[in-house]
Amino acid sequence: MYSEIKKQMPSILEAAGEIVCSASHITDCITAKAGDANFVTEYDVNVQNFLKEKLTALCPGALFFAEEQENDPLTDAPTFLIDPIDGTTNFIRGLGQSCISVGFYVNKKPVLGYIYQPYARELFYAYAGEGAYLAKNGKTTRLSRADVPLSGSLSAFGTDPYRKSTTGAETMRVAGELLARSLDIRRTGSAALDLINVAAGRCDLLYENLLSPWDFGAGRLIVEEAGGVVMRPDGKPLPMDRPSPILAGAPSACAEFLSEIGYRLND
């Protein structure tokens, strides 16, 4: 099923990655969006337009739910969830820690997930029911992440930066708990990268107060197909049709998070 998308996606993402890696004068094309310190560049829009054009040719009639556009509510129709540059602030600052995230959903369920880190030329992908993989340097490896307790976890968290004036204190409470209860904490500045790090066993847990479906659309499938779990931090299922708080990681570490750290915000 969807064999043409599977065949073409690696080269489409590689070409989109070239737009990211060859970007110049980024600081001349930044626009502020709603919220605290939330930015978009012309490159975000260019990558999104490029992906939409290629994916429309591959899958005529498919819908798009994408970060840099106005979106209708997610429906059961085949839909691509796109974050053209996840880690936009990292991209603006030249940190080399950003990625392109494309999830493909049918009936609001994940079917395919792709996250491409263009600086490291790493392509992570998953097919529902068929596993998660990392393709790099011509070699493809199936991902199978270990279960670990919270005490043995390297824990990532996101800062919910665009609402930090209201949720920052809760973020830092959770970060403090994770620092105390796990090996150490990390903040990459890209939730999609955090999710592939969880899938690959580079990190063991991710928490963030709020992410959008385009941030986690691809990554949730990659984590789940690699043997991790993804949910809301109160243990409820992650919704795909609206922004949501997120907890992802090794099953044991996430279970301990739920019982010992918990989620204290209303959303």
Q: Looking at beta carbons only, is 132 or 192 nearer to ligand IPD?
A: 192
Contact flag: residue 211 with ligand IPD (CB under 6 A)? yes
With contacts defined by CB under 6 A, name the span among 17-25, 57-65, 81-89, 234-242 that binds ligand IPD: 81-89
Cα 266 to Cα 76, 92, 234, 242, distances in angstroms: 28, 32, 11, 15
Query: What is the nearest approach in angstroms of ligand IPD to the Cβ of residue 20?
Result: 12
Amino acid at 247: L
Residues 84-103 that bind Ca ion (CB under 5 A): 85-86, 88
Residues 172-201 that bind ligand IPD (CB under 6 A): 189-191
Q: Looking at beta carbons only, is 190 or 252 nearer to ligand IPD?
A: 190
Q: Looking at beta carbons only, is 182 or 188 nearer to ligand IPD?
A: 188
Contact flag: residue 83 with Ca ion (CB under 5 A)? yes
* CA 88/CA 83 separation, integer angstroms: 10
Q: Which listed residue (67, 208, 224, 256) binds Ca ion by CB under 5 A?
A: 67
Amino acid at 138: G
Contact flag: residue 159 with ligand IPD (CB under 6 A)? yes
Among 53, 51, 39, 159, which residue's Cα sits nearest to residue 103?
Answer: 51
* CA 253/CA 207 separation, integer angstroms: 11
Beta carbons of 174 and 261 less than 8 angstroms apart: yes
Total residues contacting ligand IPD by CB under 6 A comes to 15
Amino acid at 212: S
Instruction: Residue 191: name its binding partner from ligand IPD, Ca ion, none (Cβ under 5 to 8 Å by kind).
Output: ligand IPD
DSSP characters over 213-240 = HHHHHHHHHHHHHTT-EEE-TTSSPPPS
Q: Looking at beta carbons only, is 43 or 127 nearer to Ca ion?
A: 43
Contacts of 91 by beta carbon, 8 Å cutoff, 6+ apart? 20, 23, 26, 41, 43, 44, 85, 98
Which residues here bind ligand IPD, judged by CB under 6 A?
Answer: 67, 83, 86-88, 158-161, 189-191, 208, 211, 215
